[in-house]
């Protein structure tokens, strides 16, 4: 199954483009987890935690851009390591993970 994750860091930003991109990549809208008003440097984002918790072996965690998932290489690597341990493949529309 494909699990989607989208994030905007300010209330004035819109998730529509990210949601549409995730759906275009094959993510069911019911499986998209979102965070509003959280920066990518905050690892305690509730939507990210929900997305990671819902991933099972064989699933794919999909983001439209890597910076929606993490803002630092260290955080991106830690998340990728967590996914790998769970047997989950990360996928980004614009960058390879």
Asked if 65 contacts 95 with a C-beta cutoff of 8 angstroms, the reply is yes
Q: What is the C-alpha separation between 7 and 10, in angstroms, rounded?
A: 9
Which residues are designated catalytic? 9
For residue 63, the cross-strand partners are: 92
- Length of the chain (residues): 97
């Amino acid at each position: 199954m494909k699990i989607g994750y989208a994030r905007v860091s300010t209330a004035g930003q819109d998730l529509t483009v990210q949601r549409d991109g995730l759906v275009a990549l094959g993510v069911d809208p019911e499986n998209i987890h979102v965070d509003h008003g959280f920066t990518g440097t905050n690892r305690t984002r509730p939507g990210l935690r929900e997305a990671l918790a819902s991933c099972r072996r064989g699933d794919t965690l999909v983001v439209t851009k890597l910076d929606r998932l993490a803002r630092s290489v260290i955080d991106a690597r830690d998340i990728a390591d967590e996914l790998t341990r769970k047997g989950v493949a990360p996928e980004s529309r614009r960058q390879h993970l």
